[in-house]
Chain A
Amino acid sequence: MDLAQANHAPKPYLKGRSALDWLAALLLSAGGLFALAQYGQYMDDYEQAILLAAIPTFIALAWAWAGLRNLLAGVALLSLGGIELYHADLARAEQAFLLKYFLSSQTAIGWMCFLFFFATATYWLGLLARSDFAEKTGTVLTWAATVMGTTGLLVRWYESYLIGPDIGHIPISNLYEVFVLFSLITALLYLHYERHYATRRLGAFVLIVISAAVAFTLWYTFSRGAHEIQPLVPALQSYWMKIHVPANFIGYGAFALAAMIGVAWLLAERGILATRLPSLVMMEDVMYKAIAIGFAFFTIATILGALWAAEAWGTYWQWDPKETWALIVWLNYAAWLHLRLTKGLRGAVLAWWAVVGLLVTTFAFLGVNMFLSGLHSYGAL
């Protein structure tokens, strides 16, 4: 056989998968099929189709990224454990030690908050002290936070059904829940780039924005009691919500990440931390990748929003403040991409633009709910 083919043709996908990969595939398939057999009767066709499609999707993700595979395993173990400990009785959250201090949703999310703060501090220590060990610890803590946060959301999902079968719903339906989702998605995107570019130096910056989100979540919990599970009002009882919201938050998360890289780039360009941060070119590259993925998902999210609006409000676009701001965010990043890709622009302008872009995005995400009125009553402060 030709050397050309033997060594350089892409390897057949299925070959060269490790035993762990196959185990992951087996467990994911078994879990998915079990869920279908057990709960399929409560699902409509869409839901069944999505459950089935989720199996190969998660297998592909787990194979492509070992970290994600471990995350899935950890989350499955902890959340199933938590659910088991409940014995279908909410009061157990107060009685069972493991639930009260580890696995019940509020506690797990509390752990997530703590771990994200801890990870931020550790990354900064690593950056300033040039300590590989500290940075590695930062990575581990970020993964741990992600595991706890995801577990918290999944357990919360289960808890909502324990309150009452008619109240149960996926926990992405109010501002509190989506803030947790935002933290998790931003962290995962960051961890992906950390692995792809083999540098942990940017963690210190990205974790700042996550910490800010976590701080907001905590404030929202303690001062507003926002964490209480609320039933869904009719407008939110839609399949579209379940896909529109996560797509939006991949966009928001990616834009936030890009903005923080923008901050790092601007500092490095001025000589601040320049010797500790990755090269300017690499940071530009990460920034572009993040905005590209953010833009793609934000496009999808906005379209899904329009489809949903058509069903709930009777028209796909009616210049509701939230819709309008989504359009502004979208146009903003379209302009960013035009400048980089068609004009070949690089450097400070794009970095500043990414930072300002986060302000625009934050306004679209929070400001609209706080200052403007409209149909997106969802998650008013």
Chain B
Amino acid sequence: MNRTYSRQLYEMLSSMRFAVSLLTVLAIASIIGTVLKQNEPYNNYLNQFGQFWFPVFEAIGLYSVYHASWFLAILAFLVVSTSLCIIRQSPGMVREMKSFRTGAREASLRQFAHQHTTQTALTHTEAERVVTTYLAAQGYKSKSKAQADGLLIAAKAGSWNRMGYMLAHGAIVMICIGGLLDGDLPLKVEMLLGNKQVTSLDKPFAQIGPESRLGPDHWSYRGNVFLPEGKRGNIAVLNVKDGALLQELPFLITLKQFHIEHYSTGMPKRFASDIVITNPKTGAEIERTIEVNKPFEYMGVSLYQASFEDGGSKLKLKAHSLLPGSTKVFDAETEVGGSLQLKQGEEPLRVEVTGFRPFNVENMSQPTPTDSEKNTLAMLNRHLGSGAKSPDSKDLKNVGPSFSYKLRDAAGQAREYNNYMVPVTQEGRSFFMTGMRETQADGFRYLRLPADENDKLDTWFALRAILTTPKEHALIARRFAATAMSGEGVSDTMRARLADTAERTLHLYAERGFESLGKFINDTVPEAEREKAADVFVRVLQGSTWEAWQLLRERQKLKPLEMTTTRADFVRDTVNSISDSFHYGSPVYLELDQFEEIKASVIQATRSPGKNGVYLGCALLVAGVFFMLYVRERRLFVLLKDSGEVLLALSSNRKTLDTDGEFARHQETITTLLNHGPRTS
């Protein structure tokens, strides 16, 4: 390259304008990265941007801005630019730091913003002694030099200011280099060279070949090790682009136990993993507990508590058939992450168990707005006092274990369910809660199945079975009519008509619950009377359900029950929930019978050898910034002219009002000293 071109290039690269342009681009790119969620599964972006834009944005690396080549290139340029800037500025700065500028001429001193002329009767030697003593006490270093028409005392303070520049800017270079090394630049290079390929993790680790594996001596990485309790592993998974690479660790980690503790509010309090690290070469074992904020470093690899998951808890289930008239129950065993094949009705179904929670804390309080709330003063009053007071009443309860699963039909469509193991008390009644949703984006809609007097679902299932068995309807209807119209004056025909109505109601109800009834009412009853008709139907249903219950007891040779408000509630809830169960979307209800919890810990393993450089850079940066901002470089010149005239001038590279104040002080004192001479006081 031509000499002048390279000179120009050097000047451009080392210029502040170039650095500022780079920084601006960097800032804008960073903003994009904060607005667009980074490193999501690629499918999400495809949905978000559509077929056309998705590949465009992928090509410019918007899904992982901070790891895009151009982003790293800007950082690299910044390093170069800042380094060149230092190289360009430093020699001058060092010279400045050392120099006293004893060559300053009177004419140039007279250009200073801060200057003052006075007289003295002292000799140069005397004056020099007075002034330098004073300046030394003020923290100035000084040097004198005879000039053509007098003596120049050149003093300076705060030279460390320049040092600050070198420290801070050098630190920025150091931090950037350290950061680049710890980032995925080295990995990028390896992938570019074609040595490595990401894998989609669809097969066991053991079957993944060396093209997707990184050896234990790999320079820097950050990946997750998934460890169920009692298991061991030495592979960390690194997420790269839309796939993953396997990072082999230089040691084996065994998870003995994972601990999770909660506050009474259900908020997590402590996550900790008891691990054993085995050195494969020496066989030496180290036991440690790592926690959030308490990592452990071994062989250059830091291990952190990253998160936790279910490690395949073992579940014993009871599957209750929800087919019409069926009371079938069968047992099944599975584990979280496992699946079951069900044959209910025509279609084969697959149950995929997705999660298990040993307990759930829920806020069970009902909002009860009081009168006082409307009153501002009362509201203020509620906010006085300690910060421990909750502004709204909370009633936190552990509602017991729950598990979730997906039910997948032959076509591959899945619904998701979330079932609680024990009943939850709501409004004084007990319910088993089972939630269903069609898509991940929805919240669960809960079906509340009333628990019977033994806190079981047996009665509910029995009632559902009998109420959905058409050939039982006539009997139930007859018994209902007999009870409802037991008086003397009622004719048998009226009773028969009621039984007829009841039977038809039960038939409709057994199809699709209130939905079929509603349709029937809409089709046959004039609009004005629909509400009343619906009311009658519901009462008929509740009465029939009560009779069905008694019938069931009779068949089991149990005594008939007395009607109480609790039982009336139970009947009403049963009628409602059986109707809802037609929309449950599943031919079975899975009851969680027993469980054995197995937790898994996700431990993050990182190796970042650039860290020390970065930390040192940070320390230097802080020092540099403080020197630059809080050490003001000042130069004070006192020119003692042979004529007896004295010129004072001060310059500073920090023009603040403090400099004005300082000059005023020095000017006053030095003038006094020179006019009255040194005196003992």
Whether a CB of chain B sits under 8 angstroms from the CB of A23 is no
Stretch at the interface among B208-216, B264-272, B473-481, B515-523: B264-272
Whether A306 and B618, one on each chain, are in contact in the complex, defined by CB atoms closer than 8 angstroms, is: yes
Choose among B16, B37, B625, B673 the residue that contacts A338 (Cβ–Cβ < 8 A): B16
Whether B654 and A228, one on each chain, are in contact in the complex, defined by CB atoms closer than 8 angstroms, is: no
Whether a CB of chain B sits under 8 angstroms from the CB of A335 is yes
Whether A225 and B390, one on each chain, are in contact in the complex, defined by CB atoms closer than 8 angstroms, is: yes
Interface string of B594-605 (1 = CB under 8 A from A): 000000000010
Measured CA separation A233–B266 after assembly (Å): 11
Measured CA separation A324–B33 after assembly (Å): 9
Choose among A106, A156, A233 the residue that contacts B383 (Cβ–Cβ < 8 A): A106
Whether B657 and A285, one on each chain, are in contact in the complex, defined by CB atoms closer than 8 angstroms, is: yes
Whether B678 and A2, one on each chain, are in contact in the complex, defined by CB atoms closer than 8 angstroms, is: yes
Whether a CB of chain B sits under 8 angstroms from the CB of A166 is yes
Whether a CB of chain A sits under 8 angstroms from the CB of B291 is yes
- Inter-chain contacts of A90 with B (CB < 8 A): 386, 388
Whether A230 and B267, one on each chain, are in contact in the complex, defined by CB atoms closer than 8 angstroms, is: yes
Whether B263 and A167, one on each chain, are in contact in the complex, defined by CB atoms closer than 8 angstroms, is: yes
Whether a CB of chain A sits under 8 angstroms from the CB of B536 is no
Whether A328 and B31, one on each chain, are in contact in the complex, defined by CB atoms closer than 8 angstroms, is: yes
Choose among A99, A281, A288, A335 the residue that contacts B20 (Cβ–Cβ < 8 A): A335
Whether a CB of chain A sits under 8 angstroms from the CB of B38 is yes
Choose among A159, A231, A342 the residue that contacts B269 (Cβ–Cβ < 8 A): A231
- Inter-chain contacts of A315 with B (CB < 8 A): 182, 222, 606, 608
Whether a CB of chain B sits under 8 angstroms from the CB of A277 is no
Whether a CB of chain A sits under 8 angstroms from the CB of B502 is no
Whether a CB of chain A sits under 8 angstroms from the CB of B400 is no
Interface string of B130-141 (1 = CB under 8 A from A): 100110011000
Whether a CB of chain B sits under 8 angstroms from the CB of A170 is no
- Inter-chain contacts of B291 with A (CB < 8 A): 234
Whether a CB of chain B sits under 8 angstroms from the CB of A183 is no
Whether B134 and A159, one on each chain, are in contact in the complex, defined by CB atoms closer than 8 angstroms, is: no
- Inter-chain contacts of B31 with A (CB < 8 A): 324, 328
| B316 CB to nearest chain A CB (Å) | 32
| A280 CB to nearest chain B CB (Å) | 12
Whether A225 and B392, one on each chain, are in contact in the complex, defined by CB atoms closer than 8 angstroms, is: yes
CB-based nearest B residue for A300: B622
Whether a CB of chain A sits under 8 angstroms from the CB of B680 is yes
Whether a CB of chain A sits under 8 angstroms from the CB of B389 is yes
CB-based nearest B residue for A371: B35
Measured CA separation A311–B606 after assembly (Å): 11
Which has the most chain A C-beta neighbours within 10 Å: B16, B38, B292, B606?
B292
- Inter-chain contacts of A331 with B (CB < 8 A): 23, 26-27
CB-based nearest A residue for B270: A234
Which has the most chain B C-beta neighbours within 10 Å: A159, A227, A228, A234?
A234
Whether a CB of chain B sits under 8 angstroms from the CB of A299 is yes
- Inter-chain contacts of B265 with A (CB < 8 A): 230-231
- Inter-chain contacts of B621 with A (CB < 8 A): 299, 303
Whether a CB of chain B sits under 8 angstroms from the CB of A39 is no
Whether a CB of chain B sits under 8 angstroms from the CB of A352 is no
- Inter-chain contacts of B618 with A (CB < 8 A): 303, 306-307
Whether a CB of chain B sits under 8 angstroms from the CB of A94 is yes
Stretch at the interface among A5-13, A43-51, A52-60, A201-209: A5-13
CB-based nearest A residue for B394: A228
Whether a CB of chain A sits under 8 angstroms from the CB of B629 is yes
Whether a CB of chain A sits under 8 angstroms from the CB of B49 is no
Whether A3 and B390, one on each chain, are in contact in the complex, defined by CB atoms closer than 8 angstroms, is: no
**Known A237-B292, A296-B629, A319-B30; contact A110-B384, beta-carbon cutoff 8 A:** yes
Whether a CB of chain B sits under 8 angstroms from the CB of A129 is no
Whether a CB of chain B sits under 8 angstroms from the CB of A316 is yes
CB-based nearest A residue for B36: A372
CB-based nearest B residue for A364: B34
Measured CA separation A6–B134 after assembly (Å): 10
Whether a CB of chain B sits under 8 angstroms from the CB of A14 is no
Whether a CB of chain B sits under 8 angstroms from the CB of A107 is yes
Measured CA separation A332–B269 after assembly (Å): 38
Measured CA separation A268–B127 after assembly (Å): 46
Whether B137 and A107, one on each chain, are in contact in the complex, defined by CB atoms closer than 8 angstroms, is: no
**Known A106-B384, A159-B388, A303-B621; contact A233-B267, beta-carbon cutoff 8 A:** yes
- Inter-chain contacts of A295 with B (CB < 8 A): 625, 629
Whether a CB of chain B sits under 8 angstroms from the CB of A215 is no
Whether B137 and A4, one on each chain, are in contact in the complex, defined by CB atoms closer than 8 angstroms, is: yes
| A287 CB to nearest chain B CB (Å) | 11
| B459 CB to nearest chain A CB (Å) | 42
**Known A231-B265, A328-B27; contact A104-B386, beta-carbon cutoff 8 A:** yes
Measured CA separation A315–B673 after assembly (Å): 60
Whether a CB of chain B sits under 8 angstroms from the CB of A131 is no
CB-based nearest B residue for A335: B20
CB-based nearest B residue for A162: B388
Whether a CB of chain A sits under 8 angstroms from the CB of B443 is no
- Inter-chain contacts of A300 with B (CB < 8 A): 622
CB-based nearest B residue for A344: B655
| A360 CB to nearest chain B CB (Å) | 10
- Inter-chain contacts of B179 with A (CB < 8 A): 317
Which has the most chain B C-beta neighbours within 10 Å: A100, A289, A313, A319?
A319
Whether a CB of chain A sits under 8 angstroms from the CB of B466 is no
Whether a CB of chain A sits under 8 angstroms from the CB of B45 is no
Whether A8 and B388, one on each chain, are in contact in the complex, defined by CB atoms closer than 8 angstroms, is: no
- Inter-chain contacts of A2 with B (CB < 8 A): 130, 133, 678, 680
Whether B30 and A324, one on each chain, are in contact in the complex, defined by CB atoms closer than 8 angstroms, is: yes
Choose among B222, B304, B672, B681 the residue that contacts A6 (Cβ–Cβ < 8 A): B681
**Known A166-B263, A233-B268; contact A311-B608, beta-carbon cutoff 8 A:** no
Which of chain A's residues 209-231 have a Cβ closer than 8 Å to chain B? 221-222, 225, 227-231
Whether B387 and A156, one on each chain, are in contact in the complex, defined by CB atoms closer than 8 angstroms, is: yes
Which of chain A's residues 324-381 have a Cβ closer than 8 Å to chain B? 324-325, 327-328, 331-332, 335, 337-338, 341-342, 344, 368, 372-374
Whether a CB of chain A sits under 8 angstroms from the CB of B306 is yes
Q: Given contact pairs A234-B268, A373-B37, enumerate 5 new A-B contacts (beta carbons under 8 Å).
A: A100-B385, A225-B391, A238-B293, A296-B626, A300-B622
The 21 listed contacts between A and B (C-beta, < 8 Å) are A1-B680, A2-B130, A2-B678, A4-B133, A4-B134, A8-B669, A93-B385, A159-B388, A162-B386, A171-B387, A228-B387, A228-B389, A234-B269, A235-B292, A296-B622, A296-B626, A296-B630, A311-B293, A312-B292, A331-B23, A332-B27
Chain B positions near chain A (C-beta within 8 angstroms): 16, 20, 23, 26-27, 30-31, 33-35, 37-38, 65-66, 130, 133-134, 137-138, 179, 182, 222, 263, 265, 267-271, 291-295, 302, 304, 306, 379, 383-392, 604, 606, 608, 611, 614-615, 618, 621-622, 625-626, 628-630, 653-657, 669, 672-673, 676, 678-681
